[in-house]
Chains A and B, each alone.
Chain A
Amino acid sequence: MDPDRLAELEEERSFLLDSLRDLEREHRYGDVDDHDYQVLRDGYTVRAAEVLRAIEAGRAALPQKRPRNWWRLLGWTSVVIALAAATGLLVAQSSGQRFPGQEITGGIPGGDVPGLLVQARSQMFAGDVVGAQGLYGAVLEQRPDHAEALAYNGWLLAIMAQGAGEELSPVALETARASLRRSIEVAPGYADPHCFLAIIAANFEGDTETAAVEAEACLANDPPADMRGLIEEFVLGLEAIEP
């Protein structure tokens, strides 16, 4: 039997039983005389009996619970659990550290860059040179031509080169310079890489001539106020050294 028809019959049964109850009450209070009561009660009872029989027949006609094949159930459950576990493992393997400002999933290519830059700047100002360089490196993995990341990656590499051994130091310094030059190529109007090249040339290599040229380029490109002060002092220092 269609479940909708069965539900209708059940609705009718409730209606008839309620009507019988109401009729009893009305008869008890004298609202219905004995004759009408008898006629109405018989009518309701016959209809209720028919409906109850139809409901029983309908319930018997409902699809019976099929015997469960436990082995098949176990098999499918195992497959589902195995697939879910494999997906869970893949999720765990695909997850990584979330930086401030980063979304919990996905993210547009380069969308993590603002968060990584914030983190990198904060670590650099806290003096964590290695940590900051790693974060700028992470930015460059997503945006290889990001001018700020190239400039500061170069600068931090140059600082780290000072602590490297005699063999490694020149290589690291050259890598740093390459990063700074690339930053200038990508953003010719960006002052910071010129400033860093000037400091590297003067302080790490004693090349005051290159330092003066780069410092001039730095100041010409309108560096941030704190950097400007630093470079202006630096230029004065260079002039004092020059014969």
Chain B
Amino acid sequence: MLAASLNSALGNAGLLLMLSATTFGAFATAFSIRARATRTLQHAPRYAWLALAGAVLSVIMMQRALITRDYSLAYVQQVGSSATPALYNVAAMWSALEGSLLLWVLVLAGFTAAVAWRFRARTDDPLVGWALVIMFVVSAFFAFVSFGPASPFAAGPPVGLGFDGPGPNPLLQNHILVIFHPPLLYLGYIGFTVPFAFAIAALITGRVGEGWLMETRRWALFSWAFLTIGIILGGWWAYEVLGWGGVWGWDPVENASLLPWLTGTAYIHSVLVQERRGMLRVWNISLLIATFALTILGTFITRSGIINSVHAFSAGDIEGYLLGFFAVVVIGSLILIGWRGDRLRSPGAIDSPVSREGAFLANNVLFTAFAFVVLLGTLFPLLIEALEDRRTVVGAPYFDRMSTPLGLMLLFLMGIAPVLPWRKASTELLRDRLFWPAWAGVGALAFAVLVGATGWAPLLAFGLAGFAGGAAIRQLVLATRRQGWRGLVGRANGGMVVHLGVILIAVGLASSNSFTHSANIPVTVGTVQSWGGHTFELIEITETLDDRASVVSAQIRLDGGRTFAPAITTYLQRGETIGTPSVSTSLTKDVYLTLDGTVRPLPGSTDATLRVFVKPMIVWLWIGSGLMMLGTLLAAFPGRRRRPTDPVSAPVPVGAEQQR
């Protein structure tokens, strides 16, 4: 491959360095473990540093190419433009297939280096060694794809003097969240490679006890947190940019991010059962494998060009590689699980379904069912197209109809699980512990009816949210009474704060999905229009024009107070027009204003048509998300912890349970 420029030469060199370092690192580390060559095993982290250096070099060269508008590169021809502002020019790197894979490569190299650094004193431990081998193999695969079939440094066709590219997709240069949403989502996706690598290492070494779980507990937790915040920022971006007033549309790319989140969430719950009771070993390993495999499947769905989505990438030549890698991951993992079957058996069984472990199991069944529903709905059109050559779509009603009961059942479990003891619960204990949560549920339901909520699903959601919230607050109150401020940290208590965040999100979703109303409102300068308890007055229609875009915005005075400016932006290089909503936010409702895009209002004209959505309580989605992140941080702090390998599976002395 001939380098077209310095950027191309050094960028390719960086990718080649990473590919070589990870490939050689994988072979050398595996060989050293087999040969018990402790001294050469100490070199394993060096391959990780080299790989990271290569990835960083490539990313720097890509950023340089975008900043200097190096149109000798095909990728810069595709997404570069002299009119793109500096901030969005940085984000242009992940606005198309090849650059997004480069970001993937960088994050993966970063995680591999972080693992090598964290375990640098234990390189002679076969568990760590094999985990590094797996990380190297995964890194080598993505480095190969990025260096070969999806190279961001490939030379483009010659362009004339004065050529300027179209810039990134207009939707990706319209809001600041585009800078954060993809990298955070990638940190979540790719972060799960670490627990996956340790799970495979545990299978290879036979150390399938609880040790590897402890090594990866925080890695899994932080990956989950990044995936969560990435998904939520995606919803926020959709709300702020797409102009349809919603946060989630069951788009295949959204589904692709939700799938590993569902299995990952199941894992961070069920892992507690293994740590405490030594049970669910096969299940936990399977969940991690599923989570990792689903990230690869999601990458395939997003980057193979088989779908047409707001944020999917155009067709590439990498679908075969991704599918092949997915198959290797799934088949290889299943073979390893079969091989280690005798060691994965649980030392005990669940004593009673009405117990903490019983609730965790039910939680896992529901999350798995949820993942199956989403996976089936997402893959169904692809399967039908492959088998019958028929183009079909699975609409949002299917996903809504299936996810509503599952979500309600999960809310119920969130209420009941925290009050359940391990092993077995007596009726008296349940009556005592569920007293306040039950009243909180009844209170929430009564309040919802009082403020005019109707419909069985939202009312049930509010009631169950109150119930679950009561259980979480009860737990936190008891913990802080016992331990002071330390009652807020640690896995169990931090987890309750996460639950409170999830409950706020559930309330926000139930309210905004069930009670949103919208209308098209024609507005004229000098006339005040009333609708839905609000007044709208068009002040003027203005246009701002620069090299990049023409923005026509309508200055709207809402309720006689603040002025909002929904706009229609026409990106001059691409000739594409997109709407930009303007939102009045309060704790009880958002008033979401967009310009109806059928007829673009002319600057200076005296009338326009507004599309207005009134969305109750949607701000609680973002507040709940913040609480989830806070809870995750608190959960990551070491609380008062018992050794997970203490013999909790031993029979409990008679009467001991009652004393708890």
Residues of A within 8 A of B (CB): 2-8, 10-11, 15, 18, 62-66, 83-84, 87-88, 90-92, 94-98, 101-111, 145-148, 185-190
Within the complex, the shortest CB–CB distance from B35 to chain A, in Å, comes to 9
Chain B residues with CB under 8 A of A108: 238, 242, 244, 246, 249, 251
Quick one: which of A3, A87, A92 contacts B372, CB cutoff 8 A? A87
Point out the residues of chain B lying under 8 angstroms from A187, CB to CB. Answer: 596, 598-599, 609
Q: Is B319 an interface residue (CB 8 A)?
A: no
Contacts of A102 in B (CB 8 A): 308, 393
Task: Check B394–A95 contact: CB distance below 8 A.
Answer: yes
Instruction: Determine if B520 and A7 form an interchain contact, defined as CB atoms under 8 angstroms apart.
Output: no
How many whole Å from A214's CB to the nearest CB in chain B? Answer: 18
Interface size on B, residues (CB 8 A): 61
Q: How far is the CB of A105 from chain B (nearest CB, A)?
A: 5
What are 11 A-B contacts defined by CB distance under 8 Å?
A3-B343, A4-B207, A90-B401, A91-B380, A104-B306, A105-B250, A107-B395, A107-B396, A146-B598, A189-B599, A190-B598
A63-B347, A105-B377, A147-B599 known; A95-B252 Cβ under 8 A: no
Which chain B residues border A66 with CB–CB below 8 Å?
Answer: 345
Most chain B C-beta atoms within 10 Å of own C-beta, residue among A63, A83, A188: A63
Also in contact, A106 and B308, with CB within 8 A (given A63-B345, A63-B347): no
List the A side residues contacting B251 at CB < 8 Å. Answer: 103, 105-108
Q: Is B255 an interface residue (CB 8 A)?
A: yes
B588 at the A interface (CB under 8 A): no
Q: Report yes or no: B399 in contact with A109, Cβ–Cβ below 8 A.
A: no
Given contacts A83-B369, A94-B377, A146-B598, 10 further A-B contacts (CB under 8 A): A3-B206, A3-B344, A94-B394, A94-B397, A95-B384, A105-B381, A105-B399, A186-B596, A189-B599, A190-B598
A18 — which chain B residues lie within 8 A by C-beta? 36
Q: Are A107 and B207 in contact (CB under 8 A)?
A: no
User: With a CB–CB cut-off of 8 A, which chain B residues contact A189?
Assistant: 599, 601-602, 605, 607
Query: Contact at A107–B249, with CB atoms within 8 Å?
Result: yes
Give the residues in chain B near A62, CB-CB below 8 Å.
Answer: 342-343, 345
Instruction: Please give me the residue from chain A that is nearest to B34 by CB atom.
Output: A14
Q: Considering the complex, give the chain A residue whose CB is closest to the CB of B381.
A: A104
A4, B201: Cα distance in complex, Å: 12
Q: Tell me whether B395 and A106 are in contact (CB under 8 A).
A: yes
Point out the residues of chain B lying under 8 angstroms from A3, CB to CB.
Answer: 206-209, 343-344
Report if B522 contacts A (CB, 8 A).
Answer: yes
B641 at the interface (CB under 8 A from A): no
Contact B373 A87 (CB under 8 A): yes
Evaluate contact between B343 and A107: CB separation under 8 angstroms.
no
A residues near B246, Cβ cutoff 8 Å: 108-109
Measured in the bound complex, the distance between the Cα atoms of B598 and A111 in whole Å is 14
Our pick among A8, A94, A106, A148 for the contact of B252 (Cβ within 8 Å) is A106
Known: A62-B345, A87-B402. A148 touches B598 (CB 8 A): yes
By a CB distance below 8 angstroms, the chain B residues around A111 are 244, 249
- In the complex, chain B residues whose CB is within 8 Å of the CB of A64: 345
Is the C-beta of B3 less than 8 angstroms from some C-beta in chain A?
no
Whether B205 sits at the interface, judged by CB under 8 Å, is: yes
| Total residue contacts A-B, CB cutoff 8 A | 160
Alpha-carbon distance between A66 and B372 when the two chains are bound, in angstroms: 29
Interface contact B208-A106, CB-CB below 8 Å: no
Give B205's nearest chain A residue, CB to CB: A7
B297 → A minimal CB distance (Å): 14
Task: Say how far B373's CB is from chain A's closest CB, in angstroms.
Answer: 6
In the assembled complex, the CB of B489 is this many whole angstroms from the nearest CB of chain A, namely: 28
Contact status of A96 and B36, CB under 8 A, knowing A4-B209, A11-B126: no
What residues on A are CB-neighbors of B584 within 8 Å? none
Min C-beta distance of B185 to chain A, whole Å: 18
Q: Are B402 and A110 in contact (CB under 8 A)?
A: no
Interface string of B571-595 (1 = CB under 8 A from A): 0000000000000000000000000
Q: How far is the CB of B239 from chain A (nearest CB, A)?
A: 11
Q: Are A107 and B402 in contact (CB under 8 A)?
A: no
Please name all residues of chain A whose beta carbon is closer than 8 Å to the beta carbon of B599 when the two chains form the complex.
147, 187, 189-190
Point out the residues of chain A lying under 8 angstroms from B205, CB to CB: 7, 11
Specify the chain A residue showing the minimal Cβ separation from B306: A104
Separation of A66 and B205 alpha carbons in the complex (Å) = 24
- Listed residue (B343, B401, B607) with the most chain A CB atoms within 10 angstroms of its CB: B343
Q: How far is the CA of A83 from the CA of B370 in the complex (A)?
A: 12
In the A-B complex, the 3 residue pairs with the smallest Cβ-Cβ separation, listed nearest first, are: A106-B250, A94-B398, A4-B209
Contact A96 B254 (CB under 8 A): no
Q: B309 in the interface, Cβ–Cβ < 8 Å?
A: yes
Q: Does B179 contact A (CB under 8 A)?
A: no
The residues of A that contact B309 with a CB separation of less than 8 Å are 103
CA A2 – CA B278 in complex, angstroms? 9
Most interface-central of A102, A105, A188 (chain B CB within 10 A): A105
Per-position binary interface string of chain B over residues 300-344, scored 1 when its CB falls under 8 Å from any chain A CB and 0 otherwise:
000000111100000000000000000000000000000000111
Pairwise interchain contact B598-A2, C-beta atoms closer than 8 A: no
Contacts of A98 in B (CB 8 A): 381, 391-393
Give the CA-CA distance A102 to B393 in the complex, in Å: 8
Q: Which residues of B contact A2 (CB under 8 A)?
A: 209-210, 645
Query: Which chain B residue lies CB-closest to A148?
Result: B598
